[in-house]
C-alpha cells in the first residue's frame, strides 16, 4: 500500500510550464506522489528538474500520450487520483509549418488520456482531469476588450485550433460520461526554462550573442504576459479548489506591444551586459509577419480572483530582470536545449537505473 495521500500524473512535466508545476507540487506536497509523464520531445528537458529528481515523491515516466498502450500501462501501474495535463506541441510558428504534429499530440493525445481516465477510473468520486489550455482558443481581440470564460471560441492558428479541439473534448467527456474535469486558459507565460524559440527567451539569447532581433510585422501585436510561477500557483489553486466542469481564465493584466517589450528587454540587457545605452536596440530587425498573426490577447481573470482568491504576484519589470538573470547564469542550459545533447544524456541516465 502506498503511503502517499494522492498520486498525481502531470503530463508534459519536462517542459517549460510543466517543470514549474512539478517543482511546486513536489516540494509543497511531500505526501503526494508526482508522476511526470513526458515523451521528451525537443521541448522536454529533464535538466529542468534536476533539483527535484532526487526527491522520493517524484517519478519520471518516459511515455508518449498518443500511444494508447503506453498510457494504459501507466494507468495500471499507478492509482492516479488526478491528471494535470500540460503535454502539448506549443509553438505557433511550428504549427504553421507542421500542423499535423499539433493535431496528433494536442487532439489525439488529449483524447487518449481522457479515454484512459474513463476506462480505468471505476468510480469518479475524488478523481480529477485538469486540462491546461491557452487564451489563444478565443481568437484575436481588437484594440479593446478582454477574453472572459464565456467568450466564444474562435481559434485561428493550427496551434490554437488544436488546443480548442482538446478543450472541447475535455468538456464533452464531462457532459457525456460525467468525467470530473476542470480547465484553465492562460495568457503568455515567461520566466526561467523557457525554450529559446519563444519571443522573450529568443530575444534575450540573441541580445547576448549580438544576433538580429526578429520582430514580426510592425511589432504592434499585443500579448498579456504572466510570470510562469504565478501560473503554477494558479494551477495549484484550481486543481484543489476549482469547481468541476468549470473553466477559469488566468492572466496578468499585463499587456505589451511586442516592440515595446523588445525595447524594454534591450534596455535591461544593455545595463546587465554593461553595453552602451541603445546598443542592443540596434539589433532590432523587422521581418515578414507571421501568417494569420493574431493582433491582441488580453485576459479577464476576475472569476479566478473573486472565486478562488488568486492574484499575480510579480511586477513585469521585476520578472523580466529575474528572467534575464536566469538566462545569463544558465547559458549552458541554452546550449544543451538547442543542441539536443541533454536529451541523450538524461535518457541514458534513466536507462541505467
Ligand atoms: P513546452 O513546449 O515547453 O513543453 C511541452 C512538454 O510536453 C515537453 O516536455 C514535451 O516533451 C511534452 N510533450 C510533447 N508531446 C508529448 C507527447 N506526445 N507525449 C508526452 N509528452 C509530450 O510547453 P509549455 O509552454 O510548457 O506549455 C505547457 C502547456 O501549457 C501546453 O498545453 C500549452 O498549450 C499550455 N499553455 C502554454 C502557454 C505559454 O505561454 N507557454 C500559455 C498558456 C497555455
Ligand atoms: P510567441 O512567444 O511565439 O507566443 P504566441 O505566438 O503564442 O503569442 O510570440 C509572442 C509574440 O511575439 C507574437 O505576437 C509573435 C511575436 N514574435 C516576434 O515578433 N518575433 C519572434 O521571433 C517570435 C518568436 C515571436
| Spatial contact of 227 and 349, defined as CB atoms under 8 Å apart | no
Radius of gyration of the chain (CA): 20
Does pLDDT of 353 surpass 90? no
pLDDT of residue 339: 85
pLDDT of residue 269: 97
281 CA to centre of ligand 1 in angstroms: 31
Residue 3 pLDDT class (50, 70, 90 cuts) = confident
Residue 189 pLDDT class (50, 70, 90 cuts) = very high
pLDDT of residue 325: 98
Ligand number, closest to the Cα atom of 16: 1
53 belongs to the catalytic site: no
Residue 344 pLDDT class (50, 70, 90 cuts) = low
342 belongs to the catalytic site: no
**Rounded Cα gap, residues 57 and 27, in angstroms:** 9
User: Among residues 159, 173, 190, 346, which one is catalytic?
Assistant: 159
User: 71 CB under 6 A from ligand 1?
Assistant: no
Does pLDDT of 124 surpass 90? yes
pLDDT of residue 342: 67
> Which of 72, 75, 1, 67 has the alpha carbon at shortest distance from 35?
75
Ligand number, closest to the Cα atom of 163: 1
**Rounded Cα gap, residues 67 and 45, in angstroms:** 20
236 belongs to the catalytic site: no
pTM: 0.97
Domain spans of the chain?
6-191+226-252+294-314+340-351
pLDDT of residue 340: 72
Average pLDDT over residues 199-227: 98
**Rounded Cα gap, residues 6 and 14, in angstroms:** 21
Sign of CA dihedral 114, 117, 120, 122: negative
pLDDT of residue 223: 98
pLDDT of residue 43: 95
Q: Whose CA is nearest to atom 3 of ligand 2?
A: 198
**Which pLDDT tens digit goes with each residue over 86-113?**
999 999 999 999 999 999 999 999 999 9
Q: What is the mean pLDDT of the chain?
A: 96
What CATH number matches the domain at 6-191+226-252+294-314+340-351, 3.30.200.20, 3.40.190.90, 3.40.50.720, 2.102.10.10?
3.40.50.720
**Which pLDDT tens digit goes with each residue over 150-181?**
999 999 999 999 999 999 999 999 999 999 99
Of residues 54 and 1, more confidence is placed in 54
Average pLDDT over residues 136-142: 97
> Which of 199, 163, 157, 198 has the alpha carbon at shortest distance from 184?
163
Average pLDDT over residues 279-288: 98
Amino acid at each position: 500500500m502506498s503511503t502517499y495521500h494522492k498520486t498525481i500524473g502531470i503530463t508534459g512535466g519536462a517542459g517549460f510550464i510543466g517543470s514549474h508545476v512539478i517543482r511546486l507540487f513536489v516540494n509543497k506536497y511531500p505526501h503526494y506522489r508526482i508522476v511526470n509523464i513526458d515523451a521528451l520531445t525537443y521541448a522536454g528537458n529533464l535538466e529542468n528538474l534536476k533539483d527535484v529528481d532526487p526527491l522520493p515523491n517524484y517519478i519520471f515516466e518516459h511515455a508518449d500520450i498518443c500511444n494508447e498502450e503506453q498510457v494504459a500501462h501507466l494507468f495500471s501501474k499507478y492509482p492516479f487520483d488526478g491528471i494535470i495535463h500540460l503535454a502539448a506541441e506549443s509553438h505557433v510558428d511550428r504549427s504553421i509549418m507542421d500542423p499535423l504534429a499539433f493535431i496528433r499530440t494536442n487532439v489525439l493525445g488529449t483524447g487518449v488520456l481522457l479515454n484512459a481516465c474513463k476506462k480505468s477510473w471505476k468510480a469518479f468520486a475524488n478523481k480529477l482531469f485538469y486540462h491546461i489550455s491557452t487564451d489563444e482558443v478565443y481568437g484575436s481581440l481588437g484594440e479593446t476588450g478582454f477574453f472572459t470564460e464565456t467568450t466564444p471560441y474562435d481559434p485561428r492558428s493550427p496551434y490554437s485550433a488544436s488546443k480548442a479541439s482538446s478543450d472541447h473534448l475535455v468538456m464533452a467527456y464531462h457532459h457525456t460520461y460525467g468525467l470530473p474535469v476542470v480547465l484553465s486558459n492562460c495568457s503568455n507565460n515567461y520566466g526561467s526554462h523557457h525554450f529559446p524559440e519563444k519571443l522573450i527567451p529568443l530575444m534575450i539569447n540573441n541580445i547576448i550573442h549580438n544576433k538580429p532581433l526578429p520582430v514580426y510585422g510592425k511589432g504592434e501585436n499585443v500579448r498579456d504576459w504572466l510570470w510562469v510561477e504565478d501560473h503554477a500557483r494558479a494551477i495549484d489553486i484550481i486543481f484543489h479548489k476549482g469547481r468541476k466542469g468549470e473553466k477559469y481564465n488566468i492572466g496578468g493584466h499585463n499587456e505589451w506591444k511586442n516592440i515595446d517589450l523588445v525595447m524594454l528587454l534591450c534596455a535591461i540587457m544593455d545595463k546587465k551586459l554593461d553595453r552602451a545605452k541603445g546598443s542592443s536596440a540596434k539589433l532590432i530587425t523587422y521581418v515578414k509577419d507571421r501568417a494569420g498573426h493574431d493582433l491582441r490577447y488580453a485576459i479577464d481573470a476576475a472569476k479566478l480572483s473573486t472565486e478562488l482568491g488568486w492574484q499575480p504576484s510579480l511586477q513585469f519589470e521585476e520578472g523580466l530582470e529575474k528572467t534575464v538573470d536566469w538566462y545569463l547564469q544558465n547559458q549552458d542550459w541554452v546550449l544543451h536545449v538547442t543542441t539536443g545533447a541533454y536529451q541523450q544524456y538524461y535518457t541514458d541516465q534513466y536507462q541505467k537505473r
